């Protein structure tokens, strides 16, 4: 190990300071591990801060009949049974404790009349299950976890981006990254690494996701040799803003529908009656997104190509109290008063169900020493995630990843860093500065987004997907030749040049998996294969891995569920 680079040594390195990363760090510290948390943005700004509607947990504070079994069943049904059943079970069983723990660390949820945590209805959940704070639940959660971690004294490396996982051939031993501020490189030595880097939405132009969502964690894990799973399942949230152009894609929380919001087309028809008369607006997200898309495509869309979402039949004060940030968002950004007028909404790329393949109990990936939790991990949500099940996922499996990684670190011998891997990563980072010509990374990013929007979106066909593969190949060539201007100091163009590499890996995995899955299930809808195929595709997951320089896809059987859980699924309350 040379001393050319700033180097830090810890037992556990956590990539990501969202809900999953923070909860993991807290748990690893509680086990006595020395923990570093690294994040691309400032502490408290990760995606989790944006979550609005709530955190799902069968606490039964409002609907007494709720229990973990029903939550488990809803999650499996929402995920079209491709979920890792053990994860769905642990999640449903442990979520209430994780919510109570947040309260004990200072979170203040909205209350019921008898002084308990209030819960609201959400799509696909049988009972009122989402614990919430108005429509800023994520802020409450991230602030609570952040303060807990600060109190426990974790080492935080803010505005620091990891660009490579270091291995000793058999296991993960650290990571290599750069400080965004100065552009200096930094090496982290660790006995185990937890990836909690969130999703991939920035590869689409219409998205609720921020610049951070470029799939780094998944791409890094893939490059280091770990398996990715279920990559075809990208969730398009049915209700993003559609007008004005600058806010296109910004999320309109499902809580609007949870609180009674109604969807109509331009003819004034409550169209969900046609698509899911039983659950109506509170159907699962895949169904509502396809319904809106279809209405628009068939010429019944709203003025700017969406649907109308109306909550104005509720008292104005109630709307402002329950949905304050929606009220302000529309008022300030779209000149719409949602207490009086309908909102215009349409599908927006929102969440990645797929990700790093992990074991349910420990959150360990297929590569020793590597763990993953939160949106970056796959399994819990199967083919479609229910709203509110992400925030609970973060704390349930964040905690388990922290435990798993600390335990692993406890037994692992000291790590040896391979200088050659670092040198290679450093060269790749600096190449874009050395080029005398080449296009801007922003131009390549725009074209990538357009390809994904046009070809790998809500409805898919073989032809489009094959075309996408061609375009991705061309984009890869272009990305390898981008040129970066300016210095290494806080240079977004340079940062994007690296993020592009990650986006191109994950989008290729999405496209390949989507081509393979010749059926329609959850968030994956094939116009050329519109039916569910339970015999073949209901029984297997797509797994992506690296084979030298090539991407390899294989199918693995869905794990058999124990009889007592099958029984739970069969029950219908």
Partner 1 sequence: MADAVLHVFRGDKDGGQAKEYRVPVAPGMVVLDALHYIQGHIESDLAVRWNCKAGKCGSCSAEVNGRPRLTCKTRMDALPQDKPITVSPMKTFPIIKDLVTDVSWNYEVNKKIPPFTPKPGVEWKMYQEDVDRVQEFRKCIECFLCQDVCHVLRDHDKKESFGGPRFFVRVASLEMHPLDNVSRTKLLKDELGVGLCNITKCCTEVCPEEIHITDNAIIPLKERVVDEYYDPLLRLVRKIRGAPQP
Nearest-5° Cα angle at 293, 289 to 296: 145
Least distance from C-beta 252 to ligand FAD, angstroms? Answer: 9
> Measured between alpha carbons, how far is 418 from 415 in angstroms, rounded to an integer?
10
Nearest-5° Cα angle at 374, 58 to 557: 90
> Does residue 379 contact residue 363 with C-beta atoms inside 8 Å?
no
> Measured between alpha carbons, how far is 125 from 322 in angstroms, rounded to an integer?
19
Stretch that binds partner 1, among 75-83, 243-251, 448-456, 557-565 (CB under 8 A): 243-251
Active site residue 554: no
- The CB density around residue 179, as the number of other CB atoms within 10 Å, is 18
Alpha helices in 415-491 (DSSP H): 419-434, 441-455, 462-479
C-alpha separations of 59 from 127, 215, 568 in Å: 10, 33, 18
Partner touching 106 among ligand FAD, partner 1, none, CB below 5 to 8 Å by kind: partner 1
Active site residue 257: yes
Q: By C-alpha distance, which of 201, 183, 28 is closest to 498?
A: 183
> Does residue 138 contact residue 49 with C-beta atoms inside 8 Å?
yes
Stretch that binds ligand FAD, among 6-14, 43-51, 61-69, 362-370 (CB under 6 A): 43-51
Taking CB under 6 A as the criterion, the residue among 10, 14, 21, 149 binding ligand FAD is 21
- The CB density around residue 114, as the number of other CB atoms within 10 Å, is 6
Torsional sign, CA 504, 505, 507, 508: positive
- Residue from 10, 129, 136, 237 carrying the catalytic annotation: 237
Half-sphere exposure of 373 (CA within 13 A, CB side): 36
Least distance from C-beta 207 to partner 1, angstroms? Answer: 10
Least distance from C-beta 379 to partner 1, angstroms? Answer: 27
Strand, helix or coil for residue 339: coil
Partner touching 84 among partner 1, ligand FAD, none, CB below 5 to 8 Å by kind: none
> At 323, phi and psi to the nearest 5?
-130, 50
Q: Which residues contact 556 (CB under 8 A, 6 or more apart)?
A: 540, 541, 543
347 interacts with ligand FAD by CB under 6 A: no
186 interacts with ligand FAD by CB under 6 A: no
Taking CB under 6 A as the criterion, the residue among 13, 28, 33, 38 binding ligand FAD is 38
> Which residue has the closest beta carbon to ligand FAD?
18
C-alpha separations of 188 from 88, 175, 216, 331, 417 in Å: 33, 5, 17, 45, 9
Closest to partner 1 by CB, 103 vs 431, is 103
- Residues 248-267 contacting partner 1, CB under 8 A: 250-251
331 interacts with partner 1 by CB under 8 A: no
390 interacts with ligand FAD by CB under 6 A: yes
- The CB density around residue 367, as the number of other CB atoms within 10 Å, is 22
133 interacts with ligand FAD by CB under 6 A: no
> Does residue 129 contact residue 10 with C-beta atoms inside 8 Å?
no
Least distance from C-beta 440 to partner 1, angstroms? Answer: 5
471 interacts with ligand FAD by CB under 6 A: no
The interface mask with partner 1, positions 335-374, x = CB under 8 A, is x---------------------------------------
Taking CB under 8 A as the criterion, the residue among 7, 93, 126, 210 binding partner 1 is 210
> Does residue 488 contact residue 498 with C-beta atoms inside 8 Å?
no
Q: Which two tokens stand for residue 369?
A: 């020493």
Stretch that binds ligand FAD, among 11-19, 145-153, 282-290, 357-365 (CB under 6 A): 11-19
80 interacts with ligand FAD by CB under 6 A: no
121 interacts with ligand FAD by CB under 6 A: no
Could you write out the three-class secondary structure of 258-304? Answer: HCCCEEECCCCCCCHHHHCCCCHHHCCHHHHHHHHHHHHHCCCCCCC
Partner touching 573 among partner 1, ligand FAD, none, CB below 5 to 8 Å by kind: none
**Site size for partner 1, by CB under 8 A?**
65
Taking CB under 8 A as the criterion, the residue among 38, 50, 367, 415 binding partner 1 is 50
Maximum distance among all Cα pairs of the chain, rounded to whole angstroms: 69
> At 250, phi and psi to the nearest 5?
-55, 140
75 interacts with ligand FAD by CB under 6 A: no
Taking CB under 6 A as the criterion, the residue among 391, 406, 472, 506 binding ligand FAD is 391
Q: By C-alpha distance, which of 373, 371, 376, 323 is closest to 351?
A: 376
Taking CB under 6 A as the criterion, the residue among 75, 167, 208, 511 binding ligand FAD is 208
> Does residue 86 contact residue 396 with C-beta atoms inside 8 Å?
no
Partner touching 259 among ligand FAD, partner 1, none, CB below 5 to 8 Å by kind: none
Taking CB under 8 A as the criterion, the residue among 35, 133, 372, 415 binding partner 1 is 133
> Measured between alpha carbons, how far is 200 from 230 in angstroms, rounded to an integer?
13
Taking CB under 6 A as the criterion, the residue among 256, 309, 370, 394 binding ligand FAD is 394
The interface mask with partner 1, positions 441-480, x = CB under 8 A, is xx---x----------------------------------
Taking CB under 8 A as the criterion, the residue among 5, 7, 44, 461 binding partner 1 is 44
111 interacts with partner 1 by CB under 8 A: yes
Closest to ligand FAD by CB, 24 vs 465, is 24
> Measured between alpha carbons, how far is 332 from 106 in angstroms, rounded to an integer?
31
Q: Which two tokens stand for residue 174?
A: 């650290």
Least distance from C-beta 475 to partner 1, angstroms? Answer: 16
- Reported residue count of the chain is 573
**Site size for ligand FAD, by CB under 6 A?**
43
> Measured between alpha carbons, how far is 109 from 102 in angstroms, rounded to an integer?
9
Q: Which residues bind ligand FAD (CB under 6 A)?
A: 15-21, 38-41, 46-48, 50-55, 137-138, 161-162, 196-198, 208-209, 212, 216-217, 251, 351, 374-376, 387-391, 394
Q: Which residues bind partner 1 (CB under 8 A)?
A: 41-47, 49-50, 100, 103-106, 108, 110-111, 114-116, 133-134, 136, 138-140, 143, 147-148, 150-151, 158, 181, 210-212, 243-247, 250-251, 325, 328-329, 332-335, 440-442, 446, 484-487, 489-494, 496
Active site residues: 237, 257
């Amino acid at each position: 190990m040379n001393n050319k680079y700033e180097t830090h040594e810890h037992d556990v390195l956590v990539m990501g300071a969202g809900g999953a990363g923070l909860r993991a760090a807290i748990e690893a510290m509680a086990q006595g591990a020395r923990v570093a948390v690294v994040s691309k943005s400032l502490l408290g700004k990760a995606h989790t801060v944006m979550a609005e509607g709530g955190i799902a947990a069968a606490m039964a504070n409002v609907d007494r009949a709720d229990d973990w079994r029903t939550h488990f069943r809803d999650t499996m049904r929402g995920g079209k049974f491709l979920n890792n059943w053990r994860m769905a079970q642990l999640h449903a069983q442990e979520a209430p404790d994780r919510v109570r723990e947040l309260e004990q660390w200072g979170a203040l949820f909205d209350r019921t009349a008898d002084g308990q945590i209030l819960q609201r209805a959400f799509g696909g959940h049988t009972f009122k299950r989402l614990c919430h704070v108005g429509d800023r639940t994520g802020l409450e959660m991230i602030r609570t976890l952040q303060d807990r971690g600060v109190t426990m004294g974790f080492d935080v490396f803010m505005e620091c981006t990891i660009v490579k996982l270091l291995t000793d051939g058999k296991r993960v031993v650290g990571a290599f990254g750069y400080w965004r501020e100065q552009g200096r490189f930094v090496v982290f030595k660790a006995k185990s690494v937890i990836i909690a880097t969130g999703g991939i939405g920035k590869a689409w132009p219409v998205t609720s996701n921020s610049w951070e969502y470029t799939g780094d964690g998944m791409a890094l894990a893939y490059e280091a040799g770990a398996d990715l799973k279920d990559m075809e399942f990208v969730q398009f949230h049915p209700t993003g803003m559609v007008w004005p152009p600058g806010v296109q894609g910004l999320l309109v929380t499902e809580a609007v529908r949870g609180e009674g919001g109604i969807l109509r087309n331009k003819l004034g028809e409550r169209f969900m009656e046609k698509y899911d008369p039983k659950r109506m607006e509170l159907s699962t997200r895949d169904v509502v997104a396809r319904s809106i898309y279809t209405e628009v495509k068939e010429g019944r869309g709203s003025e700017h190509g969406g649907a109308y979402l109306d909550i104005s039949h509720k008292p104005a004060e109630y709307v402002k109290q329950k949905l304050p940030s929606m009220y302000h968002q529309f008022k300030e950004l779209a000149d719409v008063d949602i207490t009086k007028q309908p909102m215009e909404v349409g599908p927006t790329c929102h969440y990645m169900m797929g990700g790093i393949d992990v074991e349910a109990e420990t959150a360990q990936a297929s590569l020793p020493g590597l763990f993953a939790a939160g949106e970056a991990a796959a399994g819990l949500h199967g083919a479609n995630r229910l709203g509110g099940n992400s925030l609970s996922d973060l704390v349930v499996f964040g905690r388990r990843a922290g435990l798993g990684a600390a335990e692993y670190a406890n037994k692992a011998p000291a790590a040896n860093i391979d200088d050659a891997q670092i040198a290679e990563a450093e060269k790749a980072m600096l190449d874009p500065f050395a080029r005398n010509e080449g296009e801007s990374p922003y131009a390549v990013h725009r074209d990538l987004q357009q390809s994904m929007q046009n070809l790998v979106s809500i409805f898919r066909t073989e032809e489009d997907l094959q075309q996408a593969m061609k375009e991705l190949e061309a984009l890869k060539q272009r990305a390898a030749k981008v040129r970066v201007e300016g210095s290494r100091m806080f240079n977004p163009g340079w940062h994007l040049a690296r993020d592009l590499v990650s986006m191109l890996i994950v989008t290729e995995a999405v496209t390949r998996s989507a081509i393979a899955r010749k059926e329609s299930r959850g968030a994956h809808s094939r116009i050329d294969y519109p039916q569910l195929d339970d015999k073949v595709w209901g029984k297997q997951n797509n797994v992506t891995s690296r084979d030298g320089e090539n991407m390899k896809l294989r199918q693995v059987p869905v794990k058999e569920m124990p009889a007592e859980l099958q029984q739970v699924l069969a029950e219908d309350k």
